[in-house]
Amino acid sequence: MTNKTQDAGLPAPLPLQGVDFYKPENFQSSESVGFLMKRLMQALVTDVDRQLETHGLTHAQWTPLFLLRQGRIDTLAELSRELQLDAGAMTRTLDRLEAKGLVRRERSTQDRRVVHLALTEEGLAASAHVPQVLCETLNAFLAGFSHGEWQSLLDFLRRMTQNAERVREVSGGEHDIHRPQT
């Protein structure tokens, strides 16, 4: 007996473990964790963008500035992976940020193939508003949650992210949450 997803050229479904929370015969998008998370992220980005617009920053601009400011990443490849964007799109964004005087590229002295990214003084000043806006927005979205509920939500999301990583590993990278989709 063949599987319809295999016949359609799609990867075989992953082995099911644990409880089946969703079933095709009664699936409702309004009860989908993915749908709700996407709506939440869209609302979050919209609100943050609205506030950072007064500082001349768009989502495509403030996210790399914020990551560079945190010191978590400092190369195009790391930035592309973290933001799940292809290198070409990330390069175009960096070109705009460099033209605005917010970012500079510095070739590595150890490996000429590597180009490090650094915020300029203007980039530091522009990104200084991001943490405050993110905190205000997230706190507003978490209104009515207790500290314990907030911690539980973080734990649940981390666990789902770990499950997503396992799905990616089992499927051979087909669902890589850190790899830009083409």
* SS3 of residue 172 by DSSP: coil
pLDDT value for 155: 96
> How far apart (Å, rounded) are the C-alpha atoms in residues 80 and 180?
7
Domain 31-139 in CATH 3.40.50.1580? The answer is no
E strand spans, 27-140:
103-107, 115-119
Write out pLDDT tens, residues 140-181.
Answer: 999 999 999 999 999 999 999 999 889 888 887 654 555 444
> In the chain, what are the domain boundaries?
31-139
pLDDT value for 9: 55
H helices of the chain, where? Answer: 4-7, 33-52, 59-70, 76-83, 87-99, 121-127, 130-141, 147-170
115 vs 63, which has greater pLDDT? Answer: 63
CB contact set of 133 (below 8 Å; sequence gap of 6+): 48, 51, 52
> How far apart (Å, rounded) are the C-alpha atoms in residues 176 and 84?
10
Does the structure show a pLDDT above 70 at 111?
yes
Write out pLDDT tens, residues 28-87.
Answer: 988 999 999 999 999 999 999 999 999 889 888 999 999 999 998 999 989 999 998 898
